[in-house]
Structure 1
Amino acid sequence: MKNTMETRANHAREKLNVFGSKSFSQPVIAESVRVKGVASFKKDVQTNEFSIIGDCTIRGSLVAESFSNSGTCKIEGVSQINEIKNTGSCKLGKIQAKHIHSSGTLSIKEDVCAETLTVQGAVRVNGNLQVKKIEIGFIAPSELQNVEGDIITLAPSRKFISLTSFIPGIKKRIACKTIKGNDITLSKTDVSIVSGRHIKIGPDCNVDEVEYSGTLHVDPSASVGKITQL
């Protein structure tokens, strides 16, 4: 039985290269998709390799082994990708991935499920973030909702100097509702509840409540409310 996407696709190509401006109204299946101009996909896309240098919009879902974006990208459907690399501006819907790397601007509308998330840039996740290993070095104001993982590190990036650092009134901070993990390290983080085994509350953090079962270290410059040892 043929794949549903395959039977509906008008043009299934081995390699799809987009130069200039082009729109696709039907589902696309290809060995690789490379966008070096402006591309609009109104349906689902399935490929091994998807790369963007220009501007790309996918109204449906994306299934791919690898995805790289160094331009501007928006995917409205579910992204099922083995490895994501973003150095540009990327807006995604719901993500199921193994590894996510971003050194640009990453905005995710729904839930994220992955093995690793590494960020050196700005990030915003409106859904739940469930990742085994999370390492976020933010260079601009960032925001998460409910974060859950094994190893979680949230701190200003030491690798990049953000232009916003020189703009009065804009501070490099990250805000969360809840953080739950085994080993948690925070700096310049505003969060309601932090729960875990080993927790380090670093400089300039604002935490309403902490629950820990192993060790807890609180920097003198941090503000912490209720502390409960489990």
Structure 2
Amino acid sequence: MTDLAKRNLKILGNSSSAGGSFQNIGITGECRFTGDVDCVKFTLTGNTDIEGNLRAEEIKLTGECNIRGRIDALSVKGRGELRVDSRMKAERFGYEGHLEVKEDCEAGEFRLSGVFEIGGLLSGDRLDIGLFGYSRAADVGGGAIRIKRSKGFKLITMVHPSREARFECGTIEGDLVELEYASAAIVRGGSVIIGPGCEIETVEYRESLEIHRSAKVGRKVKV
């Protein structure tokens, strides 16, 4: 079936679908898919569960989305809660809220403001993360990696003073690495900036290294 022959799916309210191949999918409300979903554009305002894989050129989410399989997309953006039981791969990822991916997460450009948990490797050409709470990944790799507390975190602590925004990881490796409030066993990079609140066991760098006075670094190795 060609793309032009694929039908659109529009859902208002509560519904369910067996999944399948579509042109555009628009959901306002709640929907449960019992199989794989393949479309050009997937738009959600509300809640959805997909008991399979989601493949789309463009995914736009506002609300809660649970994927029992994997996500393959050119663009994923939105806000709310996104949970993926397998892996996620996207050219561009921009999100505000909570992200959970059980396996690897790969994006050309990855921008997140919120809280996340990646069970495998988080990788991308450019990773720009603003932390709102405790987050973790098994490992991180990429070109330019920037992990800091979000600018809005101070506002959150005014309401929840005990809230903590930290990132924990095994290994972080990139060309340019800039970290705040991060804990890792190993950080490797060309140019590395270890900011406030960091606890790093070993830093290996090729070009330059900056360490904030409040950071704790066990070993520093120029390679």
- TM-score in terms of structure 2 length: 0.93
Alignment of structure 1 residues 146-157 onto 2, 5 Å: 146-157=139-150
1:142 matched to which residue of 2?
135
1:79 matched to which residue of 2?
71
Task: Verify: 1:220 aligned to 2:183, yes or no.
Answer: no
Query: Could you tell me how far apart the structure 2 residues matched to 1:163 and 1:88 are?
Result: 17
Query: Could you tell me how far apart the structure 2 residues matched to 1:222 and 1:157 are?
Result: 18
Q: What SS does the aligned partner of 1:144 have?
A: strand
Cα deviation, 1:8-54, whole Å, max 9, x if unaligned, reads: xxxx85211111211223x3211111111111111111111101111
Cα deviation, 1:138-197, whole Å, max 9, x if unaligned, reads: 111111110000000000011565535532432111111110000000011111110111
Alignment of structure 1 residues 24-63 onto 2, 5 Å: 24-25=17-18, 27-63=19-55
Q: What SS does the aligned partner of 2:22 have?
A: strand
Query: What is the RMSD computed on CA atoms of the aligned residues?
Result: 1.8
2:165 matched to which residue of 1?
172
Task: Verify: 1:206 aligned to 2:216, yes or no.
Answer: no
Compared CA separation, residues 162 and 91, structure 1 to 2 (3 A): farther
Amino acid at match of 2:32: S
Return the structure number with greater strand share: 2
Percent of matched pairs sharing the same residue: 28
1:64 matched to which residue of 2?
56
Deviation for aligned residue 1:121: 1.2
Compared CA separation, residues 165 and 98, structure 1 to 2 (3 A): farther
Contact 1:140 1:164 in 2 (8 A): no
Query: Could you tell me how far apart the structure 1 residues matched to 2:155 and 2:118 are?
Result: 20
* Displacement over 2 Å in runs of 4+: 159-170
2:190 matched to which residue of 1?
197
Contact 2:131 2:153 in 1 (8 A): no
2:124 matched to which residue of 1?
131
Amino acid at match of 2:108: E
Cα deviation, 1:74-101, whole Å, max 9, x if unaligned, reads: 0111211000002111111311110000
Given candidates 153, 178, 182, the residue that maps to 2:175 is 182
Query: Could you tell me how far apart the structure 2 residues matched to 1:216 and 1:145 are?
Result: 23
- The size of the alignment, in residue pairs, is 221
Task: Verify: 1:115 aligned to 2:71, yes or no.
Answer: no
Compared CA separation, residues 165 and 127, structure 1 to 2 (3 A): farther
- TM-score in terms of structure 1 length: 0.90
Q: What SS does the aligned partner of 1:193 have?
A: strand
Amino acid at match of 2:91: K
Contiguous gaps of at least 5 residues in structure 1: 7-11
Contact 1:139 1:161 in 2 (8 A): no
Compared CA separation, residues 165 and 213, structure 1 to 2 (3 A): farther
Compared CA separation, residues 139 and 187, structure 1 to 2 (3 A): same
Amino acid at match of 1:142: S
Contact 2:38 2:55 in 1 (8 A): yes
Contact 2:137 2:169 in 1 (8 A): yes
